[in-house]
Amino acid sequence: DGGITQSPKYLFRKEGQNVTLSCEQNLNHDAMYWYRQDPGQGLRLIYYSQIVNDFQKGDIAEGYSVSREKKESFPLTVTSAQKNPTAFYLCASSLTGVEGNQPQHFGDGTRLSIL
Amino acid sequence: AQKVTQAQTEISVVEKEDVTLDCVYETRDTTYYLFWYKQPPSGELVFLIRRNSFDEQNEISGRYSWNFQKSTSSFNFTITASQVVDSAVYFCALSGSARQLTFGSGTQLTVLP
């Protein structure tokens, strides 16, 4: 089945540690996105990529990094610089990102907590 | 800047009742797109509908219907004869010239048996 796979489902981070969240899609979509969701709040955009080897910062990029070496993959690294990383992280993709009118398809999310 | 407001944080209804989820948006763009997503307890967001700013026709899909009114900057979502499986968080979102989705804070709908 086509879709978006995020792993792991749950992740724990120690102080000062970098962790990487995986996101893979087999929908042949050009655009991919990372969002952060805090309790009782909507989704906030961290980073997005409209094409391989290119990505842009979203509204809350500080303390995060991404790469887009392959069309299918868009991993997110939560660095030690992100002082409040506890949240639910959602990855999404869309056919294109250029027009802004394409529905985004979401993965099941990764819940990150601090040890 | 664009903004989406979902003033209803939580709504509880009894099964078979109709329920309307409100969404009010702000944008300076003349071309924009509005979306509704459903987030069940499993966590992933499920796309429900997209509307562009030039199409004010209301839409019905089974028990779901959407009312888009540019005059009041609203894009409300009604579930008719609600069911327990409709229990979820529902998000309204807007995409404009920045081509990024701005989400509302969501409405938690609980349908009681």
Which residues lie closer than 8 Å to A102 by C-beta, 6 or more apart?
A: A31, A94, A95, A96
B85 closest CA partner among B54, B112, B61: B112
Please write the tens of the pLDDT for every residue from A48-106.
Answer: 999 999 999 999 999 999 999 999 999 999 998 888 999 999 999 999 877 778 899 99
Q: What pLDDT score was predicted for residue A100?
A: 75
Q: What pLDDT score was predicted for residue A1?
A: 62
Written in H, E and C, the secondary structure of A83-94 is CCCCEEEEEEEE
Minimum-distance CB partner of B105 among A42, A100, A106: A42
| Mutation target vs B (from A10, A104, A110; most B CBs, 10 A cutoff) | A104
Residue A97, Ramachandran bin (φ over 0: left; ψ between -120 and 50: alpha; else beta): alpha
Q: Which residue has the tokens 């003033």?
A: B7
Chain B residue closest in CA terms to A43? B103
Please write the tens of the pLDDT for every residue from A76-92.
Answer: 999 988 889 999 999 99
Tokens matching residue B78: 């009604």
Query: What separation in angstroms does the CA of B70 have from each of B1, B28, B96?
Result: 18, 12, 14
Query: pLDDT band at residue A26, thresholds of 50, 70 and 90?
Result: very high
